[in-house]
Amino acid sequence: MSKDIQSYLLGDKIFQPDYNIKKNNYFIKDLHAYESLCLESKLDPEEFWKKYAIGFLTWHKLFTKVLDESNPPFYKWFSDGELNVSVNCLDVNLTNGNANKVAIIFESDDGQIEKISYRELFVRVCKFANGISKLGYKTGDKCIIYMPMSIEVIIAMQACARLGIIISVVFGGFSSKSLQERITDIDASLIITADYQKRGGKIIPLKDAVDEALSIDTSNKIRNVIVYKRTDKDINWFSSRDIWMFDLESNQDEYIDPVFVNSEHPLFILYTSGSTGKPKGIQHSSAGYLLWAKMTMNWTFNANPTDVFWCTADVGWITGHSYIAYAPLSLGMTQVIFEGIPTYPNSGRFWEMIDSHKVTIFYTAPTAIRSLVKSSDLNKEVHPNNFDLHSLRIIGSVGEPISPETWLWYYTNVGKNKCSLVDTWWQTETGGHMITPIPGVTPLKPGSCSFPLPGIQASVVDELGDEVSPGKGGFLVIKKPWPGMIRNIWNDSERFKNSYFPDELKGYYLAGDGAQIDSDNYFWILGRIDDVLNVSGHRLGTMEIEAALVAHKLVSEAAVVGRPDATTGEAVVAFIVLKGKYPEKHEDLEIAKELRNWVSQEIGPIAKPKDIVFLENLPKTRSGKIVRRLLRLKASGQSITQDVSTVDNISSIEKISISF
Ligand code: WTA
């Protein structure tokens, strides 16, 4: 934890909130209301959280204890309460006037549209849950979901929640090897998948990857693979194990009693990259998680009954959990779910869809915006100015820092200078937004995620946990527990404690990001302080990619670092020492291609190194540690000016010049 964090050049232009958005704001009306909520949450946190937990959630058994701090950092929230998440997302909408309201507008890759009302969704979830239940699955069992964006993936997630089955959704872009590791780690007995997925005009197999994953580790406990039929293409079929999702649903009862679970019952485990070779299974609770997802949906997106919300994330990531699968439903919203990609059939797809579905709140990632800026520079026809985007009132950003330049483009061309732009900082571990503007309320500074939400005690500290002065960089921490926080790392409590609550930081939650607070109290995120890269908004552990590379028969050693990239934010650069002969050219195209494909097979295409550099040796300290900071400098095209007299093998990187 002794990394230098450079101070950032602060932007100084402030954009005032739009009056029309303010008018719609039912929850936090102005800065004064925001400040009093923050104060309320500080003066009496128990009362603050209790009020929201009672007001926002439907309980089967009301809790008597708000926060159990007896065993930090293993905090428990509302721990003697009981509820069911699917009741809070579906049943509540049958009696509040939303039964016939459209819950999901699904648009497929090829532009087909399907709508489903809250009542219809409820019935399909119940029928599917009845099917799973009859196969013998019950509360506490573990299920892997490996599906494309669809109405069916929401049905799968909600049906499991109804039965108390713990899920882990694996992003469809992960390889069979990554899938196998997750199946093994959570000890799953059920998989729900699809035959294929359609993305950008391509048909990509999913069930094949499941079959392969199950053949890698034959000691797995999987009894059934339920398959959503997305195409007419054939797949391999194991009749004692495989079942079509539609067959399982048909002829089932249209109602099933929910299983009420304890507040702390794990709703899901979501794997994300960390500083070691092995991804961490982030464990979330039922009540606290849902409460925070719902509260933040209200505050950050000012969710109104007439809104059409569209979050472009995949359900395989936390954004797709909190702001697709759970919070919008819990608020009875209408949301768009999209199967495809922003550039197919052309880069006007997002703008066309906002227009055709009259989207009012649009939530996407800076990487998508950057690629669309580039496309609309090249082809004016796909520029947002050619589309009617007047339905929009709030636009959002998530997953990585948004540069002031990209922010301005988004604000001007998509938001037409009238929408609030909410730059939401949060993480898989936080469950929901943490630092973000309130639309129509917070004056906006491009590139800053502004202020912490009420109830969130965020700060920037030094190595000893002491607050740094304004304008100075430090570690972003959250000083007090909050209901949506990570509960544990699945199967690894030690790693949970060490990664997030290191002793020297006074018991604060360490986010893993560098940040600074300016003199107006605005937060600026400076990027990760650990060995985690953020490529196109996806978290990738450098150690994980290194572990995959050294597993290849030609590779002796590998060191992976990030470098800035104009489109993807960061790009993966791998420095490789091959077994045997050092290639003539440091970029040997054939071997580099093979290694890229290898990483794609081992982890998934998102982890493919963009650049591969072959070296004779890696630069190391006398004790044998790879000196990554030198590799980082080299990867980003900078020259090495530091004293390197104590670094072994330095000549190996000094003699190559890299231009990407
Ligand atoms: C980064 C995504 C700057 C950050 C919800 C964090 C951001 C990591 C922002 C979490 C933002 C997320 N500004 N950086 N608005 N939002 N990040 O777990 O480095 O996939 O630690 O959760 O993304 O990524 P994760």
- Provide CB contacts within 8 A for 453, sequence distance 6+: 296, 299, 300, 433, 434, 435, 436
Q: Which atom of ligand 1 is nearest to the CA of 427?
A: 22
| Predicted confidence band of residue 648 (pLDDT cuts 50, 70, 90) | confident
| pLDDT of res. 310 | 98
DSSP string, 423-452: EEB--GGGSS--B-PPTTTSPB-TT--B-B
For ligand 1, the distance from its centroid to the CA atom of residue 128, given in whole angstroms, is: 34
Residue for token digits 């797995």? 220
| pLDDT of res. 6 | 36
**Rounded to an integer, what distance in angstroms lies between the CA atom of residue 566 and that of residue 278?**
28
Instruction: Assess contact for 533 and 562: CB atoms under 8 A.
Output: yes
**Nearest CA-CA partner of 4 in 458, 479, 642:** 642
CATH-assigned architecture of domain 31-341+425-457: 3-Layer(aba) Sandwich (3.40)
| pLDDT of res. 580 | 77
- Token reading at 558: 């590998």
- CB of 427 closer than 6 angstroms to any ligand 1 atom: yes
Nearest alpha carbon, ligand 1 atom 23: 399
In this model, does residue 27 exceed pLDDT 60?
A: yes
**Rounded to an integer, what distance in angstroms lies between the CA atom of residue 660 and that of residue 658?**
6
Query: Once rounded to an integer, what is the mean pLDDT over residues 151-170?
Result: 99
- Token reading at 110: 């090829």
Query: Once rounded to an integer, what is the mean pLDDT over residues 507-534?
Result: 93
Nearest alpha carbon, ligand 1 atom 5: 427
- Record the pTM: 0.93
Residue ranges covered by each domain of the chain: 31-341+425-457, 536-655
How many residues comprise the chain?
660
| pLDDT of res. 146 | 98
For ligand 1, the distance from its centroid to the CA atom of residue 365, given in whole angstroms, is: 10
For ligand 1, the distance from its centroid to the CA atom of residue 511, given in whole angstroms, is: 10
| pLDDT of res. 589 | 79
In this model, does residue 219 exceed pLDDT 50?
A: yes
- Provide CB contacts within 8 A for 447, sequence distance 6+: 11, 401, 402, 403, 404, 407, 423, 524
| pLDDT of res. 490 | 98
Instruction: Assess contact for 612 and 598: CB atoms under 8 A.
Output: no
| Predicted confidence band of residue 657 (pLDDT cuts 50, 70, 90) | low
Question: Which pLDDT tens digit goes with each residue over 138-151?
Answer: 999 999 999 999 99
Greatest alpha-carbon pair distance for the chain in Å reads 74
> What one-character DSSP code corresponds to residue 648?
B
For ligand 1, the distance from its centroid to the CA atom of residue 484, given in whole angstroms, is: 16
Residue for token digits 């470098």? 563
| pLDDT of res. 582 | 67
Three-state secondary-structure class, residue 244? strand
**Rounded to an integer, what distance in angstroms lies between the CA atom of residue 129 and that of residue 248?**
9
- Token reading at 520: 């107006």
The percentage of the chain sitting over the pLDDT mark of 70, rounded to a whole number, equals 96
**Nearest CA-CA partner of 438 in 454, 427, 426:** 454
Nearest alpha carbon, ligand 1 atom 7: 400
**Rounded to an integer, what distance in angstroms lies between the CA atom of residue 2 and that of residue 20?**
46
> What one-character DSSP code corresponds to residue 598?
H
| pLDDT of res. 640 | 76
- Token reading at 203: 């048909």
DSSP string, 576-634: EEESSPPPSSSS-HHHHHHHHHHHHHHT-GGG--SEEEE-SS--B-TTS-B-HHHHHHH
Nearest alpha carbon, ligand 1 atom 22: 427
- Provide CB contacts within 8 A for 230, sequence distance 6+: 148, 150, 194, 195, 196, 197, 198
In this model, does residue 4 exceed pLDDT 60?
A: no
For ligand 1, the distance from its centroid to the CA atom of residue 538, given in whole angstroms, is: 9
CATH-assigned architecture of domain 536-655: 2-Layer Sandwich (3.30)
| pLDDT of res. 587 | 59
For ligand 1, the distance from its centroid to the CA atom of residue 408, given in whole angstroms, is: 20
| pLDDT of res. 12 | 64
In this model, does residue 462 exceed pLDDT 60?
A: yes
Structure-model confidence comparison of residues 290 and 636, the more confident one = 290
What stretches of 465-606 show up as alpha helix (H) in DSSP?
493-500, 542-550, 589-602
| pLDDT of res. 658 | 63
Question: Which pLDDT tens digit goes with each residue over 168-217?
Answer: 999 999 999 999 999 999 999 999 999 999 999 999 999 999 999 999 99
Query: Once rounded to an integer, what is the mean pLDDT over residues 119-143?
Result: 98
Instruction: Assess contact for 25 and 441: CB atoms under 8 A.
Output: yes
In this model, does residue 276 exceed pLDDT 90?
A: no
| pLDDT of res. 11 | 47
R_g of the chain, CA atoms, integer Å: 24
- CB of 318 closer than 6 angstroms to any ligand 1 atom: yes
In this model, does residue 5 exceed pLDDT 70?
A: no
Question: Which pLDDT tens digit goes with each residue over 582-627?
Answer: 666 655 678 999 999 999 999 999 999 999 999 888 888 877 788 8
In this model, does residue 79 exceed pLDDT 80?
A: yes
| Residue to mutate, 513, 523, 529, 535, ligand 1, most ligand atoms under 8 Å from C-beta | 513
The percentage of the chain sitting over the pLDDT mark of 90, rounded to a whole number, equals 82
DSSP string, 101-147: SEEEEEE-TTS-EEEEEHHHHHHHHHHHHHHHHHTT--TT-EEEEE-
Report the DSSP pairing between strands 488-489 and 280-284: antiparallel
For ligand 1, the distance from its centroid to the CA atom of residue 31, given in whole angstroms, is: 25
In this model, does residue 30 exceed pLDDT 50?
A: yes
| Residue to mutate, 3, 427, 535, ligand 1, most ligand atoms under 8 Å from C-beta | 427
**Rounded to an integer, what distance in angstroms lies between the CA atom of residue 184 and that of residue 251?**
33
Over the chain, what is the mean pLDDT?
93
| Predicted confidence band of residue 628 (pLDDT cuts 50, 70, 90) | confident
Structure-model confidence comparison of residues 654 and 569, the more confident one = 569
